[in-house]
Structure formats: C-alpha cells, structure tokens
C-alpha cells in the first residue's frame, strides 16, 4: 500500500521539504504524503528512534527521506541542523513547522517552568526553524513555510499555555509573510481542530471521557483525520497557493462557530457519508488513537 493523495503525482519532484515533529502524528502523515508526491523529506525531531522508524516506512514505499535529531528549542542546534541539511542537499524549498506539544492543566496550576516549556516548543522553536531556513536557504532561493498552530479561537481552557503560543505563531506567520515576501517566500499556517491523531495517546487516562465527547461540539459531528490536515498543508506548499501568504487555514469542521444557546444539530449517519463531508482517509498507515478503540 502507499499514500493515496488527492494531489497529482510528482507535484514536489526535486524539492527538499523539512518536516519538524516528523516522528509521529500529523508530522509523520504529512511526511508520507510529501514523499509520495516526489519530495525529498527531511524529518526533524528529538527522538532518533522515531525518526528512523518513519524514514523506514517512507523508504519501503519508494520515497526519498533523511532525518536529523534536533531539539528545536536550542538555537545552536537548529542552526547546525539547518546548515547540515543545506550542505547535504544544496537547498531547502519548504518547511512544515509541525513540532509541538502541551499538557492539560488549568492556568493556576501551571508553573513558570511548565509555561516556558510549552512556549519554547510551540512558538520559539518554530521561530528558530523558520528563521534559519530563511537565512540559510530561502532568502536566496525562495520557498514556502507552513506553521502548524491549533484551534485557539475563543480560548483554550485547560491549555492556556498552548493557546498563547499558538496565537503568537499566527502573529509570527503574518509578520514573516510581510517581511520575507520580497525574497519570494510565502508563510502560512494550518490550524487543526479536533484531529484523531496519535498525539491523543499522550493524554492521561482520566481525559478519555472528555476526548470521546469532543466530537459532539463539532458541527460536522466527527473528528478530523491526519490526512485531512496534511492535505491542507500540501495545498499551501503547492503552486496552487502561490498568491496565498499570511493566512491561517482552519481544519476544524466549523467547531469555533458553535455558540452558547444555539441548538446545534448533530448530523445523522447518512449525512456524514455524503461526499462533501465524509472523512478523507488517504494515509495508508493511519491508526485509531487508543482512546477511541474501546
């Protein structure tokens, strides 16, 4: 089996695309799709074992891939890693700033250390990766950057640190789009809503009931798939988006439009299978998060 992308074969042939957080979840899925479309994908992450495994999956389906363990929160590590990629390939055509993470906690319980860790991962690390890809490659050759943020419109209760970081990344996206356009660089963001990704397996067991109920707050009545998020990323990296920059594309089933007091109707099974809204399952290695398997 191979990735069943909706985009044309060879779309990224000859391109070098860096994907941070490429060892799992949305990053892994996106790396597979980009490789299936002809890109040489460079995986970035903290755990070399996970990167090695994903690289093996991609090679097994005929894709081109390499990987570099790197803590994107460390400035010197980012600088040297990007330099190594440019040395090996001569260019970086695109960056998917996907690496991130957070934990469930109300604001009053978050320590300064915990707050700073989430900000460093979800905001500072993304800034460092984008800056170095720009300085070391894209300022001369142009390119496209997609920053992965989150559904933080209307706040993120119990994840205020992540909401603050993601809002900051949206602002960074808009500023970078303005400042780097003269070099032929586009910068956009994708904001996933409730996506059934392996990242859900990292939440504590007591969060299970809440996670299983979240789909009831989504007008489309379901969780999104990793492949649906990847498709948005691929579009923004593609030539079809050549006049789109500084934008944030939401992939959330209209969840932020839900209002208190509005009697939202849940779609029935027949409605959820209509072509316009039924789940896109292009990722051949996708697995259901453990919290939804029982």
Domains in the chain: ranges and CATH: 16-292 (3.40.50.720)
CB 50 within 8 A of CB 23: yes
Residue 258 is predicted with a pLDDT of: 87
Distances (CA, A) of 135 to 86, 125, 129: 11, 15, 10
Residues contacting 225, CB < 8 A, separation 6+: 195, 196, 279, 280, 281, 283, 286
Q: Let me know if 123 is exposed, middle or buried by CB neighbors in 10 A (0-12, 13-18, 19+).
A: buried
Residue-level pLDDT at 73: 96
* pLDDT tens for the chain, residues 1 to 294: 799 999 999 999 999 999 999 999 999 999 999 999 999 999 999 999 999 999 999 999 999 999 999 999 999 999 999 999 999 999 999 999 999 888 888 889 989 999 899 999 999 999 999 999 999 999 999 999 999 999 888 888 888 898 999 999 999 999 999 999 999 999 999 999 999 887 777 677 767 777 788 888 899 999 999 999 999 999 999 999 999 999 999 999 999 888 877 888 888 888 878 888 888 898 898 888 877 776
Contact predicate 102/122, CB 8 Å: yes
């Amino acid at each position: 089996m191979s990735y069943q992308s909706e985009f044309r074969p060879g779309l990224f042939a000859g391109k070098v695309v860096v994907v941070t957080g490429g060892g799992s979840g949305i990053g892994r899925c996106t790396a597979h799709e980009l490789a299936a479309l002809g890109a040489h994908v460079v995986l970035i992450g903290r755990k070399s074992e996970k990167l090695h495994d994903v690289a093996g999956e991609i090679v097994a389906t005929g894709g081109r891939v390499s990987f570099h363990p790197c803590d994107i929160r460390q400035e010197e590590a980012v600088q040297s890693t990007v330099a190594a990629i440019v040395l090996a390939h001569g260019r970086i055509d695109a960056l998917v700033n996907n690496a991130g993470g957070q934990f469930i906690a109300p604001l009053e319980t978050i320590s300064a250390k915990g707050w700073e860790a989430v900000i460093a991962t979800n905001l500072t690390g993304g800034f460092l990766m984008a800056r170095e890809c720009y300085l070391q490659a894209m300022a001369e050759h142009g390119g496209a950057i997609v920053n992965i943020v989150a559904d933080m419109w209307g706040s993120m209760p119990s994840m205020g640190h992540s909401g603050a970081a993601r809002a900051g990344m949206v602002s960074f996206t808009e500023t970078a789009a303005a400042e780097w356009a003269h070099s032929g660089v586009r910068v956009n963001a994708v904001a996933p809503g409730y996506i059934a990704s392996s990242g859900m397996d990292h939440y504590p067991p007591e969060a299970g009931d809440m996670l299983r109920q979240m789909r009831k707050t989504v007008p489309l009545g379901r969780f999104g798939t990793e492949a649906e998020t990847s498709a948005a990323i691929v579009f923004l990296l593609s030539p079809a988006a050549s006049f789109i920059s500084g934008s944030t594309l939401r992939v959330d089933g209209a969840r932020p439009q839900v209002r208190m007091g509005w009697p939202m109707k849940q779609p029935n099974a027949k409605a959820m299978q209509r072509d316009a809204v039924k789940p896109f399952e292009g990722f051949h290695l996708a697995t259901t998060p453990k919290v939804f398997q029982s």
